[in-house]
Structure 1
Amino acid sequence: MNKVSAEPTPGVEALRERVRGLPERPGVYRMLSAEGTIIYVGKARNLRRRVSSYFTPSRKTPKTERLVQLIADVQITVTHTEAEALILENNLIKEHRPRYNVLLRDDKSYPYIYLSSHQQFPRLGYHRGARQGAGRFFGPYPNSNAVRETLGYLQKVFPIRQCRDTFFRNRSRPCLQYQIRRCTAPCVGYISEEDYRRDVRDVEFFLEGRSGEVIAELVRRMEEAAENLEFEQAARLRDRIANLRHIQQRQYVAQDRDDNMDIVACVAEGDTACVQVFFIRGGSSLGNQSYFPNTPSGSRESDILASFLAQHYLGRVAPPEVVINRPVREQRLLEQALRTASGGTVAIRHRVRGDRRRWVEMAEENARYALSARSASTASQQRRYSALAEVIDSDAPPERIECFDISHTAGEATVASCVVFNREGPVKSDYRRFNIRNVTAGDDYAAMHQALTRRYRRVKSGEAPLPDLLLIDGGKGQVAQARDVLDELGIDGVALMGIAKGPERRPGEETLLLDDGEREIELPADSPALHLLQQVRDEAHRFAVSGHRQRRGKARRESILEEIPGLGPKRRQSLLKHFGGIQGIRQAGIEDLARVPGIHRSLAQRIYDTFHG
């Protein structure tokens, strides 16, 4: 690829002149504003022809006209093929997030069920991230809850181990999972490798969508056990069959059990769009996911859908078939790019019948519902922000709210949280936690002062924008600390508010502290402004508590081992690595502990007595 860039020259005529010199080759073009910001990224089969079209007097959409008015410079990258240009375009959009491109917000990898089929006794587990290494991956699933729910059902039907390898290798007796019949205890030899492999094969068939074959095999084995008068075994197999049929009933199943496809439907209302994706694997639905891409005003559904397909699938393995609810431009080019990225055949279809048509209709219906729910939520959120503006005597609703809370247990492992909200809800990428050090245990005022100082020093250095409202979970003392920090750092223009719980600590009885705590107000329990403040406060509390528990747990894990004579840092590290954590050490026997390098029998006895004495 060859990158071409010229010095900015103002004026449409100058741009037209430069565009006439562009090559008639495939590539990617970038539109820049006067500030040098990339405002649009596009790809073209013929760069000169495509970029020239922006500066001709032909009729354009309102979105394109606004874009052209802001263009101060054009940069291009020449590629060998149009498919290469499509991949580069997608990468640049993800990197720069231009204002006039359709942007996909949620670009996380999907979770999978992982089966370590290469091991002697394979395990089932949750996996998110790159699918590398030995073993098999089943999915993708729309979210982690869908994976964990499926794993829970599978464990009831097929007692395949789900424990970590470090835990499995160091067992001397069965764990609780065996006692409740969720595992057959291969760790201690309670099941033969042949029988365990048979259960693994059944799991693989089920996850491949071949549950009918699994049920038929289980029925055969049940009847055989009954003929041999093995009634307990026959009863266990009967229960497995009943559980499998129950799982089947929870899913819509297509007629073709070999279907592996995604159903993608885009529905737009006004300037808001929803893309709904249904995941079909082995003819069964694994669930669905809603996406709300940022769309420039006036974007068409087909353009939104085309942008979504490129951003969503390039960079991850696409299924063999993607069914969409409307045609998109350059469909063949997109298929070619997806084949290159996935390393296999990928077909994009929109004219479908039968089960596929019903899936598309279901996806469209879900997209419309999600849009309606989001619209109602957005309207409610705007009412809350408008009501809050009246409370703080502001001409306009706050655009950014930051809230702080402190969490500790009798002064132990103190953690402060900072959560951020804007008009669309929580901005989790801006959340921060602060481990509080060098203050008197239990001194919430000093902890708040330290957290605020550390936060707003960074804000002053440009790490994050200043909030319009600083919300403190606490009373006059905490609010006074916040005012001191803002004054020390010379920060003006930030509204300050405290939210203190009532005497009974019941929701709806909070007191709001304004004007540095000099003015107190109590809003009605049904006040939209109060509901917003409660939401932000509760999120700060949740984030602080979870951070505190993590820090406290880590400190206690380390301290209990530090109390054991003869157990130095290297031996502690060896124990934690060998057993996978403090829980594994707690469950280990003396013989298990003595197998760890550097742990002799008398030390193993002391470790065991520390946890069980």
Structure 2
Amino acid sequence: MIDFDLKKIPAAHGVYLMKGDDGTVLYVGKAKHLRNRLRGYFSAAGDDRAHIRFLMDRVCDIETIVTDTEKEALILENTLIKQHRPRYNINLRDDKTYVSLRLDPREEFPALQVVRKVRHDGAFYFGPFASSSAVRDTLKEIYRIFPLRHYPLATCRRRGRPCLFFQIGQCSAPCHGRISGAGYRELVDGVIAFLSGRENDVLRMLRKKMLAASDELRFEAAARFRDQIGSIEQTIERQKMVTPAGGDQDVLGLHREGGEVEVVILFVRQGKLIDRRGFAIDWKLDEDELLSAFLQEFYGREVVIPEQLLLPLLPENAAALAEWLGERKGGRVEMTVPRRGVKRELVELANRNALESFRERGSRREAIDGVLEEIHRRLHLSRLPKRMECFDISNVQGRQSVGSMAVLIDGEAARAEYRQFKIRTVAGADDYASLYEVLRRRFNRGRDDGVLPDFILIDGGRGQLGVVDRVLDELGLMGRIDRAGIAKSRVVSNVRGRALERSEERFFLPGRKNPVLLRPGSPALFMLERLRDEAHRFALTQHRKLRGKAAFSSILEDIPGVGPARRKVLLRHFGSLKRIREATLEDLSRVSGLPEAVARNIFSALAQSGD
């Protein structure tokens, strides 16, 4: 235990950082009263939380930072956690990406965008949606009722005629003047009302237009309004009303069992339950501190923040949290523990969901543990492969080589841990040298931050496995990490030399001559193949991005008057290659230092390349 003088700790609001013997930040916490908070760690009884006892054995130094208010301490704690990523703070390993719909009413003809970050930019944001498929279903419904444009205006205006979506009635083709600005604005207002949950307002508006069109003998228009009304009414029937009061709420539920806690959030928008998300936290925190840390971690991301949070209990720093959330949202956020009525029923529903999620995760955990144990046994590993990493190299004819690392933690894809490596030291198509560079960079960093895999899977055979052994030996990690190579199925001739047969996936192990074969269709084989395929997919994704950027850069290089300096000016002005490609001639003409003739050349060249 660290020898620490509490009298030197200030009796004030602030943040404390607990550090290891090498200066690494192990834990970041906040307190209304720093001295009292730290006294709890050094009392005779000690802190009874298992992870805190484990932590204190490793703490060699504590640094404190004083703040003026509790809210400042909360914000500073959040910043330091993001900066240092301490291993003993809450880390929500959430592989799913939150998506929302964005609509900017200031655009000439506003369009819906699927975005992953919510920014304070004056646009409307709707969501969150759990998956891209949920967004696609919503957009399909919207475009049938309100045919907004699908593509950037600049792209559409370069076409000679409206796109296919116009032909099937899911786009109003503002790019080709098929709808007036006022008519398009009515569509936008309808979309905003629809996504905001004000379907009844939309229905009243459409019924009024239907009757007016009928009175004016515009029967095709009246029929179109009738179909829109029918589509909205069907949508309303499919949605579940959960509270007559309406409004936007996030409802949190907790289930705790031993050292494991399951947190569930129900997303309620305008009185409708639109989605649910669960998080497993293997940490023996007090529920009050757990909930406070969870709220900071979750809402510290760029997500939609509702008007109200319904909680099973109120954290000690609720006032500071509500003020911080209000600043992030740009409006008041209420945190409350309902005692009766519909809101209390919602919290109880969230708690029941947390219990069911815990049970489901427990059943899945048992199944995954069985798979990991089979991999451990069949591949003769020295430890259970809790963290598995797979590496892959991708290039085209020796150019633009990239490496990728996919990660499974406890059998689940940990996409936040995936990494891509642009090959720096290897010229040409030398997969062995590229793999050597990638592994050296990965494990050098892993030694420094203390994050190393239990098991490495290499896409390849004995040659690639030899590269792994060389790197581990050079870095003094031999014996610390298990490894295997997975070779793709071979295609061989049968005994007559005619028909072709496919062998099974083969796993090569260090010091073993014959490869290991796993039972076809077994969960262990499926998990390892999935890891290999993820690394391959991730490498190809990065490779396509590099090829696209290179191809676009070559287009700019071929345009008269556009040299390296002007390419930098264009990128600085538009922010990305994608926005340069989407720019209109007027947009290009407004770039400082770009002559009008050069702007015309760029616009013409990009228009031709997009055909």
Using the size of structure 1 for normalisation, the TM-score is 0.80
User: Matched residues in 2 for 1:609 and 1:515: separation?
Assistant: 54
Distance 1:248 1:508, change over 3 A: farther
Query: Do structure 1's residue 201 and structure 2's residue 207 form an aligned pair?
Result: no
Equivalent residue, structure 2, for 1:24: 11
Name 2:264's counterpart in structure 1: 276
Given candidates 386, 391, 394, the residue that maps to 2:373 is 386
**Partner Cα separation in structure 2 for residue 26 and residue 607 of structure 1:** 57
Cα 1:23/1:474, change in 2 over 3 Å: closer
Q: Closer, same or farther in 2 for the Cα pair 1:456/1:253, shift >3 Å?
A: same
Partner amino acid, structure 2, of 1:167: T
Number of aligned residue pairs: give it: 581
1:542 aligns with 2:534: no
Deviations 1:375-424 (Å, cap 9, x if unpaired)?
23333333223222223333322454332335567878665433233435
Shift of 1:482: 5.5
Moved more, 418-427 or 204-213: 418-427
Letter in 2 for 1:274: E
For residues 181-209 of structure 1, give each alpha carbon's deviation from its aligned partner in whole angstroms, at most 9, with x where no partner exists: 11111112111122111111111111221
Native 8 Å contact 2:213 2:222 kept in 1: yes
Supply the distance in 2 between the matched residues of 1:177 and 1:423 (Cα, whole angstroms).
44
Give the aligned partner of residue 301 of structure 1: 287
Provide the rounded CA distance (Å) in 2 between the counterparts of 1:86 and 1:267: 25
- Say which of 371, 391, 401 aligns to 2:388: 401
User: Is 1:212 the counterpart of 2:200 in the alignment?
Assistant: yes
Relative to structure 1, is the Cα distance of residues 303 and 417 closer, same or farther in structure 2, using a 3 angstrom cutoff?
A: closer
Alignment of 1:26-175 (within 5 A): 26-57=13-44, 60-63=47-50, 71-106=59-94, 110-168=98-156, 170-175=158-163
> Once superposed, what is the RMSD of the aligned Cα atoms?
4.2
Give, in whole Å, the separation in 2 of the partners of 1:519 and 1:330.
Answer: 61
Cα displacement (A) at 1:166: 3.1
Tell whether 2:450 aligns with 1:449.
no
For the 8 Å contact 1:109–1:128, the answer to whether it is kept is yes
Contact 2:423 2:438 in 1 (8 A): no
SS in 2 for 1:519: coil
Residue pair 2:402, 2:421 contacting (<8 A) in 1 also: yes
Amino acid at match of 2:536: H
Residues 27 and 47, structure 1, Cα contact 8 Å, conserved in 2: yes
Unmatched segments (≥5 aa) in structure 2: 493-500, 584-594
| Alpha-carbon distance in structure 1 between the residues aligned to 2:79 and 2:608 | 57
Shift of 1:571: 13
C-alpha distance in 2, partners of 1:482/1:583?
42
- Match of 1:244? 232
Match of residue 588 from structure 2: none
1:165–1:285 Cα change, 3 Å: farther
| Amino acid across the alignment from 1:304 | L
Query: Aligned AA for 2:342?
Result: D
Give the equivalent residue in structure 2 for 1:513: 508
- Against the structure 1 CA distance between its residues 507 and 222, is the aligned structure 2 distance closer, same or farther, given a 3 Å change threshold? farther
Q: Percent identity?
A: 34
Distance verdict in 2 for CA 1:559–1:176, change over 3 Å: farther
> The residue matched to 2:431 in structure 1 has which SS?
helix
- CA deviation profile, 1:465-504 (whole Å, cap 9, x unmatched): 6655442323455556666777788874454433223346
107-116 or 356-365: bigger deviation: 107-116
- Looking at structure 2, the residues matched to 39 and 483 of structure 1 have their Cα atoms a distance apart, in angstroms, of 31
- Please state whether the residue corresponding to 1:520 is helix, strand or coil: coil
Decide whether the 8 Å contact of 1:400 with 1:467 is kept in 2. Answer: yes
d(CA) in 2 for partners of 1:105, 1:435: 28
Shift of 1:599: 8.2
Measure how far apart 1:438 and its partner are: 7.2
Offset, 1:308: 1.3
Conserved? CA contact 1:210–1:257, under 8 Å: no
Partner residue in 2 for 1:4: none
Matched residue type, 1:239: D
Displacement of 1:374 in angstroms is 2.5
* Cα deviation 1:549-592 (Å, max 9, x = unaligned): 44445555666888x8979768997999899589979xxxxxxx
Q: Determine the structure 1 residue equivalent to 2:587.
A: none
CA contact (8 A) 1:93 1:103 kept: no
Aligned to 2:332: 345
2:177 maps to a residue whose letter is G
**Which residues in structure 2 correspond to 1:182-197 (within 5 Å)?**
182-197=170-185
Q: Secondary structure at the match of 2:291?
A: helix
Other-structure match for 1:590: none
- Structure-2 change in CA distance of 1:249 and 1:411 (3 Å): farther
Distance 1:526 1:270, change over 3 A: farther
1:243 maps to amino acid: S
**What is the aligned partner in structure 2 of residue 360 from structure 1?**
347
Distance in structure 1 (CA, Å) of the matches to 2:160 and 2:395: 38
Quote the Cα distance in structure 1 between the aligned partners of 2:452 and 2:55: 29
Q: What amino acid is aligned across from residue 37 of structure 2 in structure 1?
A: R
- SS of 2:188's partner is helix
User: What TM-score, normalized to structure 2?
Assistant: 0.80
Q: Aligned AA for 2:12?
A: R
Are the aligned partners of 1:34 and 1:70 in contact in 2 as well (CA < 8 Å)? Answer: yes
* Contact 1:166–1:579, Cα closer than 8 Å, also in 2: no
1:22·1:48 contact (CA, 8 Å) conserved in 2?
Answer: yes
